[in-house]
A = this chain, B = another copy of it.
């Protein structure tokens, strides 16, 4: 097992990465103050891993709420089910919420913890590759609103994150691939050596080699922890983590959330970002092609949905949270492993990328 600390002063917390962690009471119990625990899980993950976690916490008052899975359930109504359970079971301020599930579960449990009685403790146990490398690190929690994704939420840090690599064995291949999109993102945005490592090890990752997966999760968490520690509230540097997301959120919104997985939309978005970076003369053609090729090898889309028009992209991107004073901000690449934030993009270059379709990065 590896341990990594996210350095945030008095809100610092450890991330444990390894195998067999779900049964490690010695890791979990030191992060639970009181006698009360509420496990928040979903109807896909609970049948697989809930019993194991409950036995690990056998000496606590261990209540459970199983939510319907899926991005379309990440809303205030579902959130309220968590509050119902907490209040019905009389959970006090000293309680601890444990998220056992993917990003949606973690975002909702984390936000519920942030606002229940104005803040109680919580622990993240992410069960997808995507949530292990991304959403469980950094304290972003929240729910969607009918008019926008992740529009209601809080920055709220967990007591610890427990990334058990064993649980990735049961993950559907499409979700594993979607997780690899965010893994590749860390290479593209800030770590060229890791990008090279991914080119070497992509086959092993797709074959779920436990050691390689653990190594990838560890490196991604380190990258993210470093960025979050430097910029907890997304003043600047942290925005680099949105590489591929400005385009990707537009794809998700256009297709209806859940039609494309988040990672799939980000994958196509990263190819678009690479393409735009090449048109700006920043990324050379060979490196843009390498970015596209690695994303393709991971089994991910490398172009937006064929029926999405540039006008649709522009309309959807202009309502994103990342808009500042009406200007769309893009995360682009100066070179592989070096992302920057840019808001003054020439409309003509942007138009070319938005209409390039299957010829992106070519």
Hey, which bits of chain A sit against chain B, CB under 8 A? 34, 76, 80, 83-84, 87-88, 90, 92-94, 111, 114-119, 140, 142, 145, 147-148, 151-155, 233, 319, 321, 323-325
Contacts and interface: CB of A to CB of B under 8 A. Distances in A.
B152 A83 contact: yes
A94 B324 contact: yes
A148 B87 contact: yes
Closest 3 CB pairs of A and B: A87-B147, A118-B153, A115-B152
Contact of A115 (B88, B116, B147, B154): B154
Contacts of A114: 154
Contacts of A94: 324-325
Given A80-B76, A140-B118, A92 B323 contact: yes
Contacts of A145: 80, 83-84, 87
Contact of A147 (B88, B119, B151): B88
A306 B319 CA distance: 56
Contacts of A93: 321, 324
A188 B252 CA distance: 57
Given A321-B93, A323-B92, A83 B115 contact: no
Contacts of A90: 319
Contacts of A147: 83-84, 87-88
